[in-house]
Structure formats: C-alpha cells, structure tokens
Amino acid sequence: MLVALSALPPSARLYAQSYDALFLPAPDFVGLGAKSDPLSVRDLETASLLASGVKSEGVTAYMARIDAYLAELATAMGPTTDPAARAEGALTFLHKRIMRAYRADATTIDGILDTGLYNCVSSAVLYMIAAQSLGLDVQGVQTSDHAFCVVHLPGRDVDVETTNPEGYDPGTKRAFTDSFGRVTGFAYVPPGDYSRRRTIGGKALIGLILSNRVVLAEGAGNYSASIGLGVDYDELERDASARSFLVDRVNNLAADLVQRGDYAGAGRLAAAARAALGDERRLVELAQKAAYMGAAALAQSERWPEALDEAERARAEGLGTPELSSLIAAALNNEVVALAQKGDFPEARRVIEARSSLAGPELAASLSEKVGESELALAIQSLPFKDALDAAQRELASGAVSRPAWERATDVIYLNEANRVARTGDWLGASAIAAQGADVAPGDGSLAAAARSYKANFVALSHNAFAELYNSRRFAQARDSVNAALARLPGDPTLLQDLGLANKALGQ
C-alpha cells in the first residue's frame, strides 16, 4: 500500500512533482486492496477488469456480460450438485462458449470477452470467477512461468489447467497430456512437486494480470505505464513482494531515462518514488545514483557551476556519497583553477566562499592557497622586483599562501632580478641581490649557490682581463686592472695573487 508523503525536504518534493502522478493508484483498487481473500464473485469481476485496464466507467458493461455467461453456466449445470462435475463442467462451458484460442500475450479479461483469445492467467482468473459462482472453493496455482487453478473438493484437491478443455484433473487424461505442451508451450507441474508450485488467492492471481501487462509494456519500451501497473499491483497485494515488484518498475524507468541522458528526469523520478513509497533502501540508492550521474554529466561538459548546484541539491536531500564528494572536489577545483588561469582571482575567491559549506574547510583552504599561489605566480611574471616582493608579502600576511609557498615565490623573485642584473654584466650586483634573497628566504639553497656563481663569474672575468694585459707585458695596466677589481671585491684570493704577480713584474 502506498504511504503518505515522507519527510523529504520541500525542495525535494518540488523536484519530484513531474512524476508524482505515476504513483497514484486507480481509485477503485484502493478499496479492493483492503479486502481479504477469498474475494466475492463480484469483487473478482471488478478487480480482474480493472487489472485488465478497463476504465471504471466501462466495468459495469463488462460485468453484465460476465454475469450473463455465469447465468447461462448455472442453467447448463441444472440440478447437478456433485462438486467434481460442476468444476469440470465450468471448464468445458468456458471453452465452448467464451475461450476460442490460446495466445501467450492475451492476458486480460476484457480481451477474452471481446476476442475469445486467452493465456494461462486470464483463463485461470475467468475459471475462478465461474467456479466460485457455482459455489466451489477454488484457488490459483503459480509456477515460475505459468498459472492455473486448483479446486478443493471433499476429500481431495483437483488441478485445473484452464488453457485446455481437457485440463480438469490433467494428470488423468491422455488427451490433455498430448496437447497441452504443444498448444501452450508449458509443462504440467503435478501436485506433489511443491517446490515448483505455489497456491495463491484470487488477489494474487489477478495481480498476475497486472504483472503480465507490465512485461508487455516494458517490452514495448513504455516504462511509465509499467509503473502505474506496478502501483496498482502494490495496492492490490500490499505485501513485500508487490512493493519490490513496484520498485523494480521504478528502477527500469530510471535506467531508461539515464540511457537517454535524462539524468534530471531520473532524479525527479527517484524523488517522487521516495515521496510516495518512503525511503526504501533501493530507492535511496537510485536517488543517489541519479544525483551523482546528473552532476557528473554536467561536470563532463565543464559546466562546473551547474554541476556544483546539482551536487549541493543532492547533499541537501541527504543523497551524499563518497563518489559525489569526489566529484564536488574535482568540479570545484576545476572551476576555481579556470578562473585563476584567466586572472580573475576575486571571482575565484568568491566561488570558494560561496561553496565553502559544500567543499568543507580542508578543501576550501587548499583551493584558497592554490588561488593565492596562482596570483603570486602572475605577480612574479608581471610586476617589477620591489612590487613583486611587496605582493608576495601581502599574500603571506593575508594567509592566502603558506610560508613554504611564499618562500618559493620569493626565491623566484630574487633569482629573476639577479639574472636581470647579471645580463647587464654587473656580476657582483647580481651576486649581492641573490645573497640578499638567500638571507630573506633560504629556500633550497639555490639563491646562495647563484650568489657564489655570479661572484665566481666576476673573478673569472677580472682574472682573464689581468692575464691578457700581463701576458702582453703591460704590467702597469695589469696592476691597475686587478686593483680596480679588488676595490669591488676586496680580499679575493685569486685577485690578490694576480696583484702580487703584477707588482713583482714591476719590481715592487
């Protein structure tokens, strides 16, 4: 039986509206579902016609036709009171007057009345109506792929294979044995084979009309119609098996929607099903899957804000999963990175702030740092030396970047400036800038190494200039050259050695 709206959030109820109508049972079924077996003949007629798809306004006319046949059957039985004779006579009468030919998909009662075509379910239901009208105690029998009836006679039960005119007590008739499987494709399941057969009441037998119609509807791709049939089945049977059958129908329609790329439709269907049926485990899982796939499809199209909106809605409705959390992290990261790459750092930070509850503190902090590093990287590339240093300091002070990230950036700023100065030939100026940077941000030691390298370049160039003059025996000029170098780099061992050579050559 369907339940009242569950305590879904208002947003989820609104989201579900386009599929709500699928979960409304036919009004006439509501009363029938509350009744217990055995149903009266009139209730059997009503339920079987409704299950066959006859509209409420058409039920009365079909019932009148059935009642006319039942009156004719009663007349044909005459004064016969023997239950066995009446049970067999009912089958003979139905095949002579109504049922003309077997067809596997002829599952409805109105179909028998209009065309004479029948299958195991429709013939069994019609036989149950006829037998009960004669005062007989009759039930249905269900196997894995077949249905028939059993009549409870004084002292024994007799099977009635309703698809065959020789089907009364079929195990005793050679004509039945020869024709039944050939005509219907089914094999007879004898009474002793209890593991393969289940005795059912009239409601369950009529429910097979609905389940057969579901098979036909889904075979034609009409999954929405199959849910309506499943709702009626659930309302009629009101047991765990019927509810599971209905949930299967929901899953099949959802799978069809997903296959066609309608993830939002699958989400609305799941929400409507939960609102109508309650938080069944499989429905919650379906809702979670639909929400994830909808968000994932948007993310794959790089529609990051829409993907995050969908994920946020799912979270608000209690549909979060580890997979959805991973998708949120990836989508938010991609949106923030895309904004940062365009240089729109304020918008990137606004997005992080707006999605902070969705991201969680750890992811939000990580993304904020990533934005700060991107902004700092742009500053390094585009700002003059001192401005870049100021920008890096501001990023550190604001908490936008970590100290290790600030230190790496500061290293790059100093190294860029040192290289710029070195390209002018001022090796000692470049060395001084690199050494200053090494003091401010030691980092991995690359600035200190650069300072030593620049100094070594200055010494090498100065020595080479000295050597050229000395080898040309221009000793005074060689001495002046090395003195000029020592004035900039006092105490350098190589330059002091060169000065000594020059003085010696000059006799000093």
Q: What pLDDT does residue 182 have?
A: 57
**What mean pLDDT value characterizes the chain?**
89
pLDDT (0 to 100) of residue 375: 81
What is the reported pLDDT for 4?
A: 38
Question: With contact defined as beta carbons under 8 Å apart, do 454 and 418 qualify?
Answer: yes
Encode pLDDT of 321-355 as tens digits: 999 999 999 999 999 999 988 989 899 999 999 99
Between strands 117-118 and 101-102, the pairing is parallel
| pLDDT of residue 283 exceeding 90 | yes
27-81 pLDDT per residue, tens: 888 888 889 999 999 999 999 999 999 999 999 999 999 999 999 999 999 998 9
Query: What does 134-170 look like in DSSP terms, one character per residue?
Result: TT--EEEEE-SS-EEEEEEETTEEEEE-TTSTT-BSG
**pLDDT value at 11 more than 80:** no
How far apart, in Å, do the first and last CA atoms of the chain sit?
117
DSSP, collapsed to helix, strand or coil, labels residue 398 as: helix
How many Cβ atoms sit within 10 Å of the Cβ of residue 200?
A: 20
Of 436, 407, 431, nearest to 419 (Cα)?
431
What does pTM read for this prediction?
0.70
* pLDDT for the residue numbered 187: 64
pLDDT grade, residue 14 (50/70/90)? very low
Answer with the residue of higher pLDDT: 117 or 4: 117
* pLDDT tens per residue, range 147-161: 999 999 999 999 999
Q: Which amino acid is at 484?
A: A
**The Cα angle at residue 417 between residues 412 and 420, in degrees rounded to 5:** 125
Res. 250: pLDDT tops 80: yes
Check residue 425 and give left, alpha or beta (phi > 0: left; psi -120 to 50: alpha): left
Q: 450: which 2 tokens?
A: 């650069």
| pLDDT, mean of residues 353-371 | 89
Torsion, CA 346, CA 347, CA 349, CA 350, rounded to 10 = 120
